[in-house]
Structure 1
């Protein structure tokens, strides 16, 4: 089968022979062309240079050049290959995985644990690799239009939205008028998924403390990894960033991050609780649930910020925010890793402004000061 007839070409890099076999077979069963396997970072880079895959799956703990070294070398050498990190969880691995995402890795999936079935792992792997392949092939199409190479045809069902004709696309709208709030500072809710750790690493250090009535964040990540993300953001940000454990107070100087594997709810107007309800649309945490709780407790005193991510989590919550008279900012397509969550809200006409990531900090500050 030719590479163009598959869902994309993939290089698998992992120092475990068993894990390479599991990954490769799972990907082939899902319709991908695995064009090479590497047991260390140097071999992974060699395969990337020779095979030029659409995606690479990457273990971070490998002999010789480790996964972080691979990511930095790809960036240094201008090899624009989306990387899906496949990592076991431990405190050390979690911190390293979050560092990899902040360095530019496309997404993260946790390795299956001993005794777990592979069906859920396979579904997640397929979803994340397919999104990464869609971005890679889409960029090659843009390069072909510009005369920089031969286009690869992207599968029509890819979850990454093709870039619109820049001449037909309107400029990002200015902030639209909406009902004035009561004068109370808003609760800021930030929702994101694929590409979120990198976006948050740029956004959070530029936000002041205090900020509004407080900040709640939902980032789609596997259980265990969100603690490392919170610690990394806390180290770099004026706001005190904490992975919520339940019972924390919503405070102007604090940003509470939903833990992977739990929904983030409000216990009352001033404190949060965690919920172990079923995943909604395959997601736990689900941003829609957090947003609805905030609207229920704070009415229109809400500022919703939706960053890069697959799917449409946040859309139902955005409808509730607009109905209550709150405000909504979404990240523009040009700075998103995946223009899914923001686009769902923008296309529904719910966004008060659609802005590139570098313009969002100032817009957020302006909104909470209104």
Structure 2
């Protein structure tokens, strides 16, 4: 199997629009498209020279193709037939179509998000502590809320490039804020401990795993588990249910957003940081209907901008900034609420 974060895909599709959509979807989800061609315009004799880990074939008009026949007989890498014509973007059918396609790619040639765990090593190296924002007077004059159940809970959502961005956000935040966080990070198994150390090493915020039966508290960042769904009890305590997250993402940011907004309504927010794909966009309308707030990291500061850009393009995000700018905006928002 190829290195998961560099999986190569060759596309053969007879519709120009379909080729465009497939190119964008695969690139947004971390796959490297090495060929994107109409099979009728591609030299059949040249296919053995294409360095790919998978052939993706999507034919809507061509009934027979000698090129496809040759691939089926001689290709030494997987051949995947597509999910049919892509529905209109930003619709539920498109989301389901994309999930099916990416889910199959992950099973056949690996998950690009596997690169997130090893990249944590760079965050564990010695680095100077960044400057922290000053706690504004309206908040500094209040009793220290650390350890109290959080009156507001915000979800920090990230995929590829997320740990560095979330770390920069938390490094900038002063302690003593009346808010708690959940942190949903697409990451492979076996990196939970490294994630806690890497993201929290310079922060005044306590990064920890889930304690079922306990609420999210002020001063805490609770890391969402990757294998089991996280929900809330009637008293706002956290609860882990014995079911897997909906495919193809673990954890599913979209599902976590639904669970959070259903319980906290106007007392919740979501910040989407660097990441591949569009996990979270499908649930954004529900979060807004429940009165929640949606912010995104600016594309120019992301390693992988497609996840925050997808939410921003939906028109539902109300603020876009770099990680420090997002921290400044949150501090200002909390200070204004209590001034």
Cα distance change of structure 1 residues 344 and 28 upon mapping to structure 2, 3 Å threshold: closer
Are 1:308 and 2:277 an aligned pair? no
Aligned counterpart in structure 1 of residue 220 of structure 2, from 243, 246, 254: 254
How far apart are residue 283 of structure 1 and its match? Answer: 1.3
Summarize the alignment of residues 1-370 of structure 1 with structure 2, pairs less than 5 Å apart: 7=32, 28-30=52-54, 122-125=108-111, 185-369=151-335, 370=337
Unaligned runs of 5+ in 2: 1-7, 12-31, 35-50, 56-104, 116-149
Contact 2:113–2:187 (Cα < 8 Å) also in 1: no
**Are 2:296 and 2:321, in contact at CA under 8 Å, matched by a contact in 1?**
yes
Residues 276-318 of structure 1 show CA distances to partners (whole Å, capped at 9, x for unaligned) of 4244231121122222222222111112111011111122332
Cα distance in structure 1, aligned partners of 2:112 and 2:251: 20
Change in 2 beyond 3 A, CA 1:211/1:276: farther
For 1:354 and 1:288, locate their aligned partners in 2 and report how far apart those are by CA, in whole Å: 19
- Rounded Cα–Cα distance in structure 1 between residues aligned with 2:281 and 2:241: 20
Instruction: Check whether the contact 1:318–1:350 (CA below 8 A) recurs between aligned residues.
Output: yes
**C-alpha deviation, 1:212, in angstroms:** 3.4
Q: Deviations over 1:303-341 (max 9, x none)?
A: 211101111112233222211222211011100111122
Contact 1:304 1:318 in 2 (8 A): no
Q: CA 1:227–1:267 in 2, change beyond 3 Å: closer, same or farther?
A: farther
Shift of 1:205: 1.3
| In 1: Cα distance, 2:177 partner to 2:237 partner | 16
Q: Distance in 1 between matches of 2:234 and 2:174?
A: 25
Shift in Å at residue 350 of structure 1? Answer: 0.5
Segment of structure 1 superposing worse, 292-301 or 245-254: 245-254
- Partner of 2:201, secondary structure, is helix
More RCO (CA 8 Å, sep 6+): 2
Q: Which runs of 5+ in 1 are unaligned?
A: 10-26, 32-118, 130-183
Deviation of the 1:206 alpha carbon: 1.3
In the aligned structure 2, how far is the partner of 1:225 from the partner of 1:318?
28
Contact (CA 8 Å) 1:223, 1:259: kept in 2 or not? Answer: no
**What's the offset of the Cα at 1:366?**
1.9
CA shift in 2, pair 1:239/1:349, >3 Å? same
Q: Which has the larger radius of gyration?
A: 2
Q: How far did 1:240 drift? A: 0.6
Q: TM-score, normalised by structure 2?
A: 0.55
CA distance in 2, matches of 1:305, 1:271: 22
